[in-house]
Chains A and B, each alone.
Chain A
Amino acid sequence: MTAAPDSAGNAEAPAAGDGDAADAAGDADAADDADAADAANDADAADAANDADAADDGDAADAVNDADAADDADAGTDVVAGGGYPEACDTPARKLLYDLVSIPSPSGEEAAAAERLVDFFEANGREAWIDEVGNVRAPADDAVLLTSHVDTVPGDIPVEVRPAPEDVDDLGGTDVRVGEPGEPVLWGRGAVDATGPLVSMAVAAVETGVSFVGVVGEETDSRGARHLVADRDAPEAVVNGEPSGWDGVTLGYRGFLSGTYVNTSESGHSSRPEPNAIQHAIDWWHGVEEAFTPADSETPVFEQVTTKPVSMDGGLTDDGLAVEAAMDVQLRVPPARTVDEVHELAEAELSTGSVHWKEPIPPVMESPRTDLARAFRVAIRGAGGDVRLLRKTGTSDMNLYAAEWECPMVTYGPGNSELDHAPDERLPLSELDRATTVLADVCRDRR
């Protein structure tokens, strides 16, 4: 079987508006037949197309019954990696994940992955486009906005599906075990952070008719999310995509403050006692570290301000007349404090030199009692999971959404975050399936 018919848009098209339809569309036989008419006439698909709930997806329903649209969709859904899909990639979600993980999409180079996402939505009868900063926009029912990031960190991890090892000694250099022994696991950059969550959301959005955005630049300057909050009204609820595990819901993130300390001192013999610019930088940083050392060493990391120098440069200038120092620093801010307060305390440690601060990102802590969080607990328990509520010591685009939009929000997505940015990044395909089911259930609950 060649890959192209397998991923044909006509096979996926009936997914619009109804999960049962998506199941029918993903059926291997339907795909092999590549018979859009049969798929569209499937009882479930027809129900979906005629379902009043799908009214908001009028275009999608039309596309289900539109042979031309199905034909057009074929062209844009070829497998990207070549060679066809692994046997385990036998559903629309798994195929889309395989494609998107196969397309390198480090921050700033998301265009090809974004185009594949647009193809997926259009093949399923949904309007989608790439906006001026590169985000994939697929607006529909704003009862929920599903949004995750298209970009990944750099790193070439060969894309392949392997069975999870039977023996922990066979993990192949990693300490992190994911998947039940023997089950298919997809390896590749982004499988966890956050192409897995992105694909779960794209498929759930198509199945339920809610809004979707794939944003760019999350791993660097969050330019996609920043543009989004400036460019659209708040939805009724937001689900941000990052790996929480299919049974986990992330409610909080620390804020983020970063800047560059710079200083210059006159050059002089290194035997002289006066501190130079490099020593001033070190002294300032020691002061900052002390200022934010918690009085109680047992304080959870999430509740601390943590400090991290991330690069340092300095030395004698080319003309030999001065010593320069530059140090990039990052501080994480817990919800109990504000970025302004932390900024002022860090500035107060300066005796000389200056800091060029970047735009800060405030912390966020959502309540577990919102109707959105409730819907997630119900959906996860309904899928047989024990719910985990998480607060993360890092920062995500949810911080930006919470700062601008007054609506309930959580972060959710398949994957073990211990594998974020790791050389052995991988996702059990069953985890993708479960997360997609949970997301679709939540969206139906909210509509």
Chain B
Amino acid sequence: MTTDTDPVLAEDPITGEEIELPADVEVGEIIDSPVTGTELEVISLDPVTLEEAPELEEDWGE
């Protein structure tokens, strides 16, 4: 049985390694990969899915 304080496990989308996320992680949250330091975004929690977070693009104007 899992509890609210159990860490959440997920696969690092870059290395394929299993990484541990905070128990209270939310969809849309950005975390740093403990393996590569890459910014990852939590895409879903059921199942837990991570993707590389979008990079900042440059645009002109207002």
Which of A318-326, A348-356, A371-379 is found at the contact surface with chain B?
A371-379
B13–chain A nearest beta-carbon distance, Å: 15
Question: A residues within 8 Å of B by Cβ?
Answer: 193-194, 218, 242-244, 248, 250-253, 300-302, 368-369, 374-375, 377-378, 381, 386-396, 417-418, 420
B33–chain A nearest beta-carbon distance, Å: 14
Chain B residue numbers with a CB within 8 Å of A301 are: 58, 60
In the complex, the chain A residue whose C-beta lies closest to that of B26 is A374
User: B46 on the interface (CB 8 Å rule)?
Assistant: no
The answer on a CB contact under 8 Å between B59 and A391 is: yes
Most buried by A among B28, B61, B62: B62
The one of B28, B29, B56, B61 that contacts A393, using a Cβ cutoff of 8 Å: B61
A391–B62 Cα gap in the complex (Å)? 10
Chain B interface residue count, CB cutoff 8 Å, equals 17
The answer on a CB contact under 8 Å between A369 and B58 is: no
A398–B22 Cα gap in the complex (Å)? 32
Chain A residue numbers with a CB within 8 Å of B24 are: none
10 contacts between A and B (CB under 8 A): A194-B62, A301-B58, A302-B58, A368-B53, A369-B30, A374-B26, A375-B28, A391-B58, A393-B59, A395-B62
Per DSSP, are chain B's interface residues mostly helix, strand or loop, or mixed?
loop
The answer on a CB contact under 8 Å between A394 and B62 is: yes
A387–B54 Cα gap in the complex (Å)? 7
The answer on a CB contact under 8 Å between B57 and A389 is: yes
User: B12 on the interface (CB 8 Å rule)?
Assistant: no
In the complex, the chain B residue whose C-beta lies closest to that of A252 is B56
The answer on a CB contact under 8 Å between B60 and A378 is: no
A45–chain B nearest beta-carbon distance, Å: 30
The answer on a CB contact under 8 Å between A388 and B57 is: yes
User: B55 on the interface (CB 8 Å rule)?
Assistant: yes
A88–B23 Cα gap in the complex (Å)? 47
The answer on a CB contact under 8 Å between B41 and A389 is: no
The answer on a CB contact under 8 Å between A394 and B57 is: no
The answer on a CB contact under 8 Å between B30 and A368 is: yes
A418–B43 Cα gap in the complex (Å)? 30
User: B27 on the interface (CB 8 Å rule)?
Assistant: yes
In the complex, the chain B residue whose C-beta lies closest to that of A301 is B58
A390–B61 Cα gap in the complex (Å)? 11
In the complex, the chain B residue whose C-beta lies closest to that of A417 is B61
Chain A residue numbers with a CB within 8 Å of B60 are: 301, 392-394, 417
A194–B62 Cα gap in the complex (Å)? 10
A409–chain B nearest beta-carbon distance, Å: 15
A417–B61 Cα gap in the complex (Å)? 7
The one of A381, A391, A417 that contacts B56, using a Cβ cutoff of 8 Å: A391
The answer on a CB contact under 8 Å between A390 and B62 is: no
Chain A residue numbers with a CB within 8 Å of B43 are: 381
A301–B59 Cα gap in the complex (Å)? 9
The answer on a CB contact under 8 Å between B62 and A300 is: no
Chain A residue numbers with a CB within 8 Å of B41 are: 377
Chain A residue numbers with a CB within 8 Å of B53 are: 368
In the complex, the chain B residue whose C-beta lies closest to that of A419 is B61
A242–B59 Cα gap in the complex (Å)? 12
Chain B residue numbers with a CB within 8 Å of A381 are: 28, 43
Most buried by A among B30, B41, B55, B61: B61
Chain A residue numbers with a CB within 8 Å of B28 are: 374-375, 377-378, 381
The one of A251, A386, A394 that contacts B61, using a Cβ cutoff of 8 Å: A394
A121–chain B nearest beta-carbon distance, Å: 25
A418–B61 Cα gap in the complex (Å)? 8
The one of A193, A388, A394 that contacts B54, using a Cβ cutoff of 8 Å: A388
Chain A residue numbers with a CB within 8 Å of B55 are: 389
Top 5 closest A-B pairs, CB basis?
Answer: A378-B28, A374-B28, A417-B61, A377-B28, A420-B61
A183–B28 Cα gap in the complex (Å)? 31
Chain B residue numbers with a CB within 8 Å of A243 are: 61-62
Chain B residue numbers with a CB within 8 Å of A194 are: 62
A64–chain B nearest beta-carbon distance, Å: 32
In the complex, the chain A residue whose C-beta lies closest to that of B55 is A389
Chain A residue numbers with a CB within 8 Å of B62 are: 193-194, 218, 242-243, 253, 392, 394-396, 417, 420
Contact with A along B28-49 (1 / 0, CB 8 A): 1110000000000101000000
